[in-house]
Amino acid sequence: MVAAASLAASVSIASADTEVTVSLGWLRNAQYAPLYAADVNGYFKDEGLKLQLLDGGPGKNPVSTVGAGQADFGITGGTFIFSARVAPDPVDVVAIGAIRQKSPYAYITLVNSTDPDPTPKDMEGKTIGIQTDGEIFLKGVAEKNHLDMSKMNIQVVQGGLEPLLTGAVDFISGHVHNQPYQFELEAAKPDAPENLKGKTWKALLLSDHGVPSYNDLIFATNATLKEKPELTRKFLRAVARGLQFMQENPEETAKLSAAYEGQLDTIDKLAWSLQVQNGLNASADTQEKGFLWMQPEVWEQQMRFYHENGQVPRVIPASEVMTNDFNPGVKSK
């Protein structure tokens, strides 16, 4: 009996899933849907892993959390990763995958449904609403597209879409998988304001018209990559399968995300946001190489831009901030 009990205990221990902890850059919302899909569909369990999420939010920094060994992996913007690498007290973190192949940061405008897509040149002579830290990005768009910023009326605004909805600005900076949903809600109302009727939203993505950049980067410390390479491969394979499921089954992903513990967005917003996100998550690289793939050139361009605008003290080789060595090769459509 004792032998049988010992055998049962050993089998239980051997079959226990390894807990993998992920520090999020924000509260649980639509942007982390690939993780929810991977978790609910058992992709982490297939790899012998058990997912544990650490919520982000105001005052929380996933780079610090991962750097201190309090999480195995983190998700954040690329700027936080290379800024940490060149800080006076550097944090040895490395990006191992880009969930968003293009940053969702954009200049959003309202147009008639029959109008052509806006171009950067359309921003001249218009009022542009930006947040307090947004001038360098607008400068990047102006330089790349030979725009005269003196012909723009630049206004600092809050993060919501209200200034655009009320006509106070013609373009407003925001994230295409978030703020335009406010327009969708207002325009759908029976008593929608006259200036919204017959309108649709369009966006000029910063990645297309200013600074190429990835977003929602998965990262880890170099120590984790060296000491736990198989854990890293398993984790990324599960996430990539979650991205693939989300691309092929957006409605089902919205439903399971809405029911996921701690997730804050409504199912309607999730369904809308995931359609937009799917367009940002896929690229020619993800079709050829697999979800999460990164190009060193994109990192180099982004780091040079931040250096030229005084945001980081120096530029370092892309090989010091990113690697595709653990990419599982799960391809997108």
Helical pair 250-258 and 33-40, crossing angle rounded to 10 deg: 90
CA distance 242 to 228: 21
If DSSP codes are grouped into helix, strand and coil, which group holds residue 220? strand
pLDDT tens readout for residues 238-290: 999 999 999 999 999 999 999 999 999 999 999 999 999 999 999 999 999 99
Secondary-structure class of domain 2-102+213-320 per CATH: alpha beta
Residue whose C-alpha is closest to residue 216's, from 23, 73, 322, 76: 76
Provide the CATH number for the domain formed by 105-209 in this structure.
3.40.190.10
Residues of the chain with CATH 3.40.190.10: 2-102+213-320, 105-209
Residue 228 tokens, joined: 């736990």
**Model pLDDT, residue 3:** 52
**Long-range CB contacts for residues 90-94, cutoff 8 Å, separation at least 24:** 91/63, 91/64, 91/67, 91/221, 92/67, 92/221, 92/222, 92/223, 93/63, 93/66, 93/67, 93/219, 93/220, 93/221, 93/222, 94/219, 94/220, 94/221, 94/222, 94/225, 94/320, 94/321, 94/322, 94/323
- In the chain, how many H helices and how many E strands? 15, 10
**Model pLDDT, residue 329:** 98
* pTM of the complete model beyond 0.85: yes
CA-CA-CA-CA torsion sign (162, 167, 169, 174): positive
All residue ranges of the chain with pLDDT < 70 are: 1-15
